[in-house]
Structure 1
Amino acid sequence: MSDNEELNPDAILKKYLQLMHEIRKREEVIIGLHEGTSNARYLIVNYEVIFFQLRKILEIIVKSPMLINEEEYRNVTNNPENDWRIRDIIKKLEIINPNFYPKSIEIIKLDNQPDEFKTREDGFLTKDELCNAYDYCNTYLHSHNPLKIENELNFEDEWNWVVNILNKIHILLGTHLCHPSDDGNFYYITMENGHGHPAGNFFGKI
């Protein structure tokens, strides 16, 4: 693919929607493990996989804006293809585009007028909450040190925590805007197009 094709808004949108679809599929794995339609045969392993999938979802949320801001992002890092630490990625994205994070919106229907986009003020997963949730998911990546005394896991509390984070992700991504670093352009994204698939459009300056 040529540089022009890679930076084409339609090509960027297609890649972005593929990542949104991946988020949907990983959430299905989480729900399946909790509901029992999928099973690792060992409860703690089920939860380890649940937290691993949630960790992946959080990573995708942070990394998706790299597509929207690829040209500028490549100017602030030596090897962007190998960037994986989410806090480092966030710092680099904030340098090139303080408005990089998905902007959760509500659609207000108006009679005989274009729909109005209203930015949500709260309820969605913030950048700080995302980083904290990512750190919590990381606690499931390693086996426990047998010399360390730890409280017994309460799986109901753990699941309620997962549900709370997923709900905040739904509010963040359900309908959201992605802004490139150049003012005036944006991508409109919805996680549900009426047929179970993410969809979106690019709106450019005239």
Structure 2
Amino acid sequence: MEVDLTGSCEQKIYYELMESIKSRIILISKISSGKFSSGDIRHDTESAYLHLRKVLELIAFSSLVVNRELYVKARSDCEYVWRANKLLEYIKAINPNFYPVPVEVMTAADDPSLAGIRKFSGDYLAIEDFEELYNLCGDLMHADNPFGRKKDYNEYFVKIKGWARKIHELLDMHVVRFVDSDKFRLIEMSPKHGPIKKLMFVHL
């Protein structure tokens, strides 16, 4: 059943969070391709990873939007949580099904009854990748110690495109279960530069 995205409050908020993620991924992709640059690889790299960090936070907290008190408390409690495993443990304790599940459409030209959705079989941002990327972002949030080991910004920079692609594959079409809900939502993020097209209730 397709649902009006402007309907319930939680649907609208989730929609806005996904739009924020989409716009950040577009900016990150522009940075990684050189279409948007400050002229300094250090600043470009730090900017991209800052936006990647914000995307990860949006992914982690977005399933809590149906419960304002829980969402506000979670954001406050995790404000100074710098390691991914601690953040994920906290969110998972509130909503074990918080992490999006990427899916793809199955088509059956000869037998329409076989059409439906299944878990995406390609490469996407798995929860283990989330932890790795979150911690990488944290490494770049602080200025270098002039007496310590220098960061290799080139190494960080060349990985940006791959991280952005994995996040795109995770969220392009995904299923999520909100906290305090027994329903799953199917969200389609495409087209790249257009609005999110669908938000549906599905039974898996």
TM-score bracket, normalised by the shorter chain, equals 0.7 to 0.9
Contact conserved, 1:184 with 1:204, CA < 8 A, in 2?
no
Alignment-derived partner of residue 5 in structure 1:
none
Q: Which aligned pairs between 1:132-147 and structure 2 lie closer than 5 A?
A: 132-147=132-147
1:79 aligns with 2:77: no
Q: How does 1:81-120 map to 2 (within 5 A)?
A: 81-84=75-78, 85=81, 87-110=85-108, 111-113=111-113, 115-120=115-120
2:59 partner SS: helix
Verify: 1:131 aligned to 2:115, yes or no.
no
Match of 1:136, as an amino acid? Answer: L
The 5-angstrom pairing of residues 10-89 of structure 1 reads 10-68=8-66, 70=67, 74=70, 79-84=73-78, 85=81, 87-89=85-87
The Cα offsets for residues 21-40 of structure 1, whole Å up to 9 and x where unpaired, read as: 11111122223333444332
Letter in 2 for 1:97: N
Q: Structure 1 residues 142, 81: closer, same or farther in 2, change over 3 A? A: closer
- Secondary structure, counterpart of 1:38 in structure 2: coil
SS of match in other structure, 1:26:
helix
Question: Size of the alignment, in residue pairs?
Answer: 192
Specify the SS of the correspondent of 1:130.
helix
Structure 2: tracts of 5 or more residues without a match? 1-5
Could you report, residue by residue, the CA deviation over 1:132-158 in whole angstroms, capped at 9, with x for unpaired residues?
Answer: 21111111111111111336x252x32
Deviates most, 163-172 or 37-46: 37-46
C-alpha deviation, 1:183, in angstroms: 7.1
CA contact (8 A) 1:58 1:130 kept: yes
Q: In structure 1, what is the equivalent of residue 196 of structure 2?
A: 198
Give me the whole-angstrom Cα distance separating, in 2, the residues matched to 1:181 and 1:79. Answer: 14
Contact 1:187 1:200 in 2 (8 A): no
Structure 1: any 5+ residue segments left out of the alignment?
Answer: 1-7
Question: Taking structure 1 as reference, are residues 100 and 78 closer, same or farther at Cα in structure 2, changes over 3 Å only?
Answer: closer
RMSD: 2.9
Aligned counterpart in structure 2 of residue 187 of structure 1, from 185, 190, 193: 185
| Residues 10 and 119 of structure 1: CA distance in aligned 2, closer, same or farther (over 3 Å) | same
Shift of 1:57: 1.0
- In structure 2, relative to structure 1, the CA distance for the partners of 1:200 and 1:67 (3 Å cut) is farther
